Structure 1
């Protein structure tokens, strides 16, 4: 017979209430911490706001940066208020950068193939990932705002809209087929050099490394290559022969 919890026991109800209270307190603490970090203003004793590092988190990553797209973007925005009487617009130019990464943690033994005849290591890498556009608003080279009367609220809206427009424009460019193709070519060289290191260590310095991406892999191309031996088998034999 399977053991059962006696829900009629005198300790059961207080235990459940205590557990729910702990969960509620934890939720309140998380919400308050998020609010304090993002919205609360840190001030001096005299009430003046100060520049301060609010939070810092260190995390490990396995993504290899393979390319970067950078340049200058121009964005414009309009704001209309006062029943159409107060019109304003803003044009901004600022530098941007976008990184391209390959997550090497996704490359497993099944993604490495060894062709003995040509001494070639084929690396079936994951596709290049595009990071979020980084718009450096602190280095704006142009800010032109026009309007008969530009209220504080209108200025804030214009700033937000130009930032959003710039980020969207850069994201579209960074993810265009042409830019992704360029990033894959850059990634091919970086990943190839990274995967060559263990081959050089094992005495396979003359081996060729071929890096492929999902968009390039198809049944016809794979059938044309001899994939009878895996790299781990070759490495194991090499170590046993020493």
Structure 2
């Protein structure tokens, strides 16, 4: 009996291994088909189409947007140093700033009854990945004695990467982050206005703090978590 169970167990293990390998191969093929296989019409010509897409929910609040134009440059050297080429491109970009509210809990909301003040200890504002619009390029200048197809592709790739990096650095600069936090502060004050009004505290003051500010801010007076305030308000009605 033990030998039979052992043989059955071995068969099940082998079957599971085959299923796992098959699933991995299927996922690998799907990724390869998505990224590298060219979709064509019946006559063999390539076609513009959506290959893959996915929609998902989000709990982030967009509070501001940075718009600008970036100039990006790239160089390429081939043929043992004989074939040198370069490219300069100008194109617009956009960076959105968000506050992730998914981690905001009642512990992050404090109520000072004496001053009728709600303190919101918010997560920091974060910039999204830059959206560089290469379809709206205003300048494309490529130089070189002879620019091969491979060199042109490499220049285009480098220009895009450099533009992304430069836009991201600008978006994360202290000046831009400070401006985004002010917009974020105003957005959260507006967001908190509705629940405060519903609790009968429509004239209360709202103070929004971010992590960099809380490191140096002086301690507030003894406060009450906002969930207790709202619970007490409901019980008193």
Scaled to the shorter chain, the TM-score interval is over 0.9
Alignment of 1:217-232 (within 5 A): 217-218=214-215, 221-222=218-219, 225-232=220-227
Query: For 2:164, which of 159, 162, 167 is the aligned residue?
Result: 167
Cα distance in structure 2, aligned partners of 1:134 and 1:91 = 18
Q: SS of 2:102's equivalent?
A: helix
Alignment of 1:120-135 (within 5 A): 120-135=117-132
- Asked if residue 17 in structure 1 is aligned to residue 14 in structure 2, the reply is yes
| Cα deviation digits, residues 13-68 of structure 1 (max 9, x gap) | 10100111111111111111111111111011111100111112110000001111
CA contact (8 A) 1:113 1:227 kept: no
CA RMSD in angstroms, aligned pairs only: 1.6
Q: Which runs of 5+ in 2 are unaligned?
A: none
TM-score, length of structure 1 as denominator length: 0.93
Task: Give the Å deviation of 1:9.
Answer: 2.8
Q: Which runs of 5+ in 1 are unaligned?
A: none
Cα distance in structure 1, aligned partners of 2:56 and 2:164 = 25
Structure 1 stretches of 4+ with a deviation exceeding 3 A read 5-8
- Matched positions, count: 236
Cα distance in structure 2, aligned partners of 1:101 and 1:51 = 32
Query: For 1:191, which of 188, 191, 199 is the aligned residue?
Result: 188
Task: Give the Å deviation of 1:220.
Answer: 5.3
| Cα deviation digits, residues 138-191 of structure 1 (max 9, x gap) | 000000111121111111111111111111111111111111111111100011
Cα distance in structure 1, aligned partners of 2:163 and 2:59 = 29
Cα distance in structure 1, aligned partners of 2:57 and 2:197 = 27
Task: Tell me: CA distance 1:151–1:207, structure 2 relative to 1, closer, same or farther (3 Å).
Answer: same
